[in-house]
Each structure stands twice: as structure tokens, then as C-alpha cells.
Structure 1
Amino acid sequence: MTAARESVGALYECVVAHARTAPLRHTFRHRTYLWCVDLDRMPSLPFILRPLARFDPRDHFTGRAVSIRGGLEEFLRARGVELGGGQVLMLAHARVFGFVFNPLSVYWCHDASGALVCVVAEVHNTYGQRHCYLLRTDSAGHARVDKEFYVSPFFPVSGRYRMRLPVPDERLGLTVHLETEEGRPFTATVRGHRRPATAGALLAAAARRPWSTAAVWAGIRRHAIHLLLRGLPVQPRPHHTPQKGMVP
């Protein structure tokens, strides 16, 4: 729990990497920065810097809760999970100049004693849809879960995810494998180093990666076009049914 407490209000300078091995080989690396925040102790920024980092409940869960924590707890209650006021850490992009796109937001959910109860992985696709996976991770942060949500247009909604999502400390290290009967056709990793979330650190990160969250969205589109031009077929997108606890 000590590492979790130290991670509150941190910036992580990150490298996000995707490796696709089938049916075509394709890899890319993207530099960005992510926030790790305590949902009960959100960063308080000077007014002039707020356009560079805003956390909005509309961007998570149903988008109708009064707070991000409220949306999370509604999702958890629908699955019989109560935190009793315990700490929740969120790793995500913030809105930058009013825009945000989070391919993956992660929530580490603790109970009142400080024990990790579960991890929630909230996935967004480029079609404006979102889906949450409730994970019971082991001591190293590992969990497996069936894939239930259409993300990449080049993979069907089948297979399983093997995730490693340890609580961030000085280093951030997340891994998501897609596993199918044929093997592991896709792996995503996020690696980063923690920086205190000071005004100076935010300005420096924004100067190095201007409009970082829009760059993530644009990068995903650019690589999708590249794969289309290489002849990779698009998989049909099934109808998306909102999850229990996610219905607006």
C-alpha cells in the first residue's frame, strides 16, 4: 500500500508499444504521458494550467455520475463489490484543451484496510464505446479475462486477455496480451517513470508532447490505415450491449 500512496498525483512519462504478430506483423511505439491520481485527492492546478489537465466524469463509466469515483462504485456495486471508502488510484489521460481519448484507464481499488480488492480495466474504442473488465489480480498483478469488447477492427471479439497490471510505483509497467487458440497475435505494453505532478512537470510534459491525448487517437487511426493498405481484412463489429452498471 505504501507504493500506492506515493503514486498519488504523479505523472508518468511513458512509451506505449503495440506488437501485432498475426495475420500481419506490425509494431509501433508512441511516447506520451499519463496521470496517476487518487480519486479522492484529485490534483488542484493553477487556473492557467487547467486546460492542460481536466478529469471529467463524462469520460468514464456511464458518463452520468457526479464524479469518476461515483461511476466506478456504481459499476462495482452491480458486481457485489464494496470498497468501504478505500483508496482508488486511477491511471489515465486527462483532457487536454477539452479533448481526451483513453484506450485504457486502470483503477486499483483498495478497501478501508488498504488491501487491494480488485483492478478495473476500462477500455475505450474509437467508435465512442467503452467496456470495463473487473479483475482479481494475483500478488504480481496478473489476471486473465475473456475478451468481450470490440477494440481493433482487425480482431474479432474472441480469445482471452492475459494482463499484468501491478500498482505503479517509481516505475510503471503494464502488459496486455491477446491470446487465441493460435497463440498471441497481439501484445501492448506501457512503460514509464514517475514524476511529481508539479506545475513545472506538467508544462514540460505538455511541451514535449503537445495535445498528447489527441496524438494517441490520431496515431491509432494512422496505423489502422496502414494495415488496411496492407490488405488486412476488417472484422465485423457486433452490436454493443452496455454492461450492468454501465447503462446511462
Structure 2
Amino acid sequence: MSSIDHIKAHTYHGRKGPVENAFRYAIDYVLIDMNAQASWPRLFSRNRFNLWSLYDADHGGAPKQGRGLSWAENILRAEDLPGLERILLLAQPRMLGHVFNPVSFWLCFDAQDDLRVVIAEVSNTFGQRHSYLCHRDDFAAIGPSDEIGAQKIFHVSPFQPTQGDYRFRFDIRAERIGISIEYLRKGGGLIATLVGPRQPLSSKSILSAFLRRPLGSRRVLALIHWQATKLWWRKATFRPCPEAPQSDFSR
């Protein structure tokens, strides 16, 4: 099993309600074993500049002030979630030093390599972040058909209220990943998915991704603002950004 995989994914967002909107685009993620002491591909680095890189400070706490793996471990310890042997981070890498992750996922496995806990780390374009702790009530292994609920308490889009509920589904396999998040609220909501095959990360795959999408996460930010412009033009209700929740995470 590779210590770091490249996910050549597609993401889909479909908005429900009076002002409908949908879009789908390609996106690159890495799935990295945060405890691995690995020899990375030449074009990838951890905690230093490269064509692609991943910095611990980008995850686990406030944006650009993250604590990385220790943050996730502290949450699991505080919530008394035992028996977890391996933690993988699914996130977009920095490309030439720049990154914006609307959502990243800490995937926590037991000794039998069953997925038990997921921490969904959500960031908005206002410089705020909040995470949702996801596991079954009985702490059994999370399967593709399991639906895990959480109350939405964090502002993501100015065109959606803070109130409502999430329904998470996780289908994490050796050959692919599939994640869906459904946002439910009265009179609207949305569905978001992230799906793609897994393959060991290589300099060749990094260079290929760079040539296909040289703007990296700058392109993601541009697409987010383009979709927001379309919703504003179609007179979707705009809501100002409130203060972020005081706690790093919720269930």
C-alpha cells in the first residue's frame, strides 16, 4: 500500500430550491499517511516548497496555523475514540506554494484497516474553518451504505443559511474513493460529491496534472467565485458571514 496516493477526482455540486444550480469539474487530491517516513516523488515535498507540497500548518486548526496530525489525534483522544492505528489525510496539495481546500478529510482506520472515524475539515473563503466529527453511533466500521449525520453550524456559502443538517457517506476502497455530502434544509439544500480512482503518487502524475490544470487551487477559487456570481445574478438570497464557532469541531 502506497504511503501517498494521487486521486484524479471529479467533484459535483448540485443546489436545490427556488434557485437551482449545478456544476462538475476535475480536481486533484492526495491521500497521505501522516505517520509515514517516506521517500516522496521528486516533485512532491512535505513542509517545504515544491511543484506539489503538503504543509502540516494547512490542516488541523485555524487556516495557516494548523497543528497537523497531532490536532486530529488530540480530538480522537478527547472524544475517547479508541483502537485507531492509522490516519490518512485526503486534501488538495499546494501547487507552487498556493492552496485552498474547501473540504479535506482525516480518515481514521483501526488495526484491521476498517474506517471508523472521519473528520471533515471545512474551510470557507472568509478565512474561517470548522470540522465535523463523523462516526457511527456504535463505532462500528463505516461502510459505503452508512449515512452519518451532523448539524450544520458553520457558514460556508453566502447563498446558503448556516442552519440545517449534513448527511455524509464514505466509500473508501483500495482502488478508489467516493464521498458524498448532502446538505438538508427547509426549502433547499445541496448535494456535493468527490469521486476518483487511487494510484500511487509519482512525479509523472504530478507533472501531468500540472500541465492539465496549471492554476491548481487558484482555479478552484475562481470557479467558486464564478458560481457565486451566477447565483447573485439570479438573485439568490445573500447572507453575510457570521463569526465562526468557538470550537474547532462538532458532531
Answer yes or no: same fold by TM over 0.5: yes
Q: What is the aligned counterpart of 2:177 among 172, 185, 203?
A: 172
> Is 1:146 aligned with 2:151?
yes
| 3-state SS, counterpart of residue 171 of structure 2 | coil
Contact kept, 8 Å, 2:131 with 2:249, in 1: the verdict is no
- In structure 1, stretches of 5+ residues that fail to align are 1-5
Q: Which residue of 2 aligns with 1:155?
A: 160
Q: Which residue of 1 aligns with 2:22?
A: 27
Q: Which residue of 2 aligns with 1:206?
A: 210
Q: Summarize deviations over 1:23-66 as a string: whole Å, max 9, x none.
A: 31111111111101111126643555542221112211225565
Q: 1:14 to 1:113 in 2, by over 3 A?
A: closer
- Aligned positions of 1:162-241 closer than 5 A: 162-182=167-187, 185-241=189-245
RMSD (Å) for aligned C-alpha atoms: 2.3
Q: Which residue of 2 aligns with 1:93?
A: 92
> Is 1:71 aligned with 2:76?
no
Deviation at 1:80, TM superposition (A): 2.9
Q: What is the aligned counterpart of 1:15 among 7, 10, 13?
A: 10
| 3-state SS, counterpart of residue 54 of structure 2 | coil
Give the number of the structure whose residues are more often strand, by fraction.
2
- In structure 2, stretches of 5+ residues that fail to align are 137-141
TM-score normalised by structure 1 residue count: 0.86
Moved more, 89-98 or 133-142: 133-142
Q: 1:124 to 1:7 in 2, by over 3 A?
A: farther
Q: 1:58 to 1:18 in 2, by over 3 A?
A: same
Distance of 1:45 and 1:58 partners within structure 2: 19
Q: Which residue of 2 aligns with 1:41?
A: 36
Contact kept, 8 Å, 1:7 with 1:36, in 2: the verdict is no
Q: 1:21 to 1:71 in 2, by over 3 A?
A: same
How much identity, in percent, do the aligned residues show? 31
Q: 1:244 to 1:197 in 2, by over 3 A?
A: closer
Q: 1:221 to 1:170 in 2, by over 3 A?
A: same
Number of aligned positions between the proteins: 238
Contact kept, 8 Å, 1:75 with 1:244, in 2: the verdict is no
| 3-state SS, counterpart of residue 162 of structure 2 | coil
Q: Which amino acid is 2:7 matched to?
A: Y
Distance of 2:204 and 2:234 partners within structure 1: 43
Q: Summarize deviations over 1:66-96 as a string: whole Å, max 9, x none.
A: 5x21121123333333556x11111111111
- Aligned positions of 1:105-144 closer than 5 A: 105-112=104-111, 114-137=113-136, 138-140=142-144, 141-144=146-149
Q: Which amino acid is 1:102 matched to?
A: N
Q: 1:243 to 1:43 in 2, by over 3 A?
A: farther
Contact kept, 8 Å, 2:132 with 2:249, in 1: the verdict is no
| 3-state SS, counterpart of residue 41 of structure 1 | coil
Give the number of the structure whose residues are more often helix, by fraction.
1
Contact kept, 8 Å, 1:195 with 1:201, in 2: the verdict is no
Contact kept, 8 Å, 1:12 with 1:34, in 2: the verdict is yes
Moved more, 107-116 or 219-228: 107-116
